[in-house]
Amino acid sequence: AQSVAQPEDQVNVAEGNPLTVKCTYSVSGNPYLFWYVQYPNRGLQFLLKYITGDNLVKGSYGFEAEFNKSQTSFHLKKPSALVSDSALYFCAVRESRGSTLGRLYFGRGTQLTVWP
């Protein structure tokens, strides 16, 4: 069965420092991987996705993520954190075969706090 794990409930980082939000996945075939961000009182916003191709994908707001097939990971990164990056981040996965409905499986979320 497909699943996503975000091992850290909370990540704290100082503004200007690099940040990493971790995600590991489990699927039976090739994965399609996504990161979403949720700001307070808002819906989820799409940040980036890995479907195929380069393992390093770039997304919105200066975020990037690295797909590592051998470690089944898709960690979200940013070279220099901003206070405005503080939000709840969700990793999601979908299988590349089987059902074609586009169903996503979400992790439990990681609360990122960037302090000034």
- Interface ranges with another protein (CB under 8 A): 4, 9, 32, 34, 36, 41-46, 49, 51-52, 90, 94, 96, 100-104, 106-109
Whichever of 15 and 72 has its CB closer to another protein, that residue is: 72
Label residues 65-101 b or e (16+ Cβ within 10 Å = b).
bbbeeeeebbbbebeebeeebbbbbbbbbbbeeeeee
Whichever of 38 and 86 has its CB closer to another protein, that residue is: 38
Whichever of 70 and 101 has its CB closer to another protein, that residue is: 101
**DSSP per residue over 53-113, as a string?**
S-SEEE-GGG-EEEEETTTTEEEEEESS--GGG-EEEEEEEEESSS--S---EE---EEEE
Min dist CB 102 to another protein, Å, is: 4
Whichever of 51 and 83 has its CB closer to another protein, that residue is: 51
Min dist CB 101 to another protein, Å, is: 6
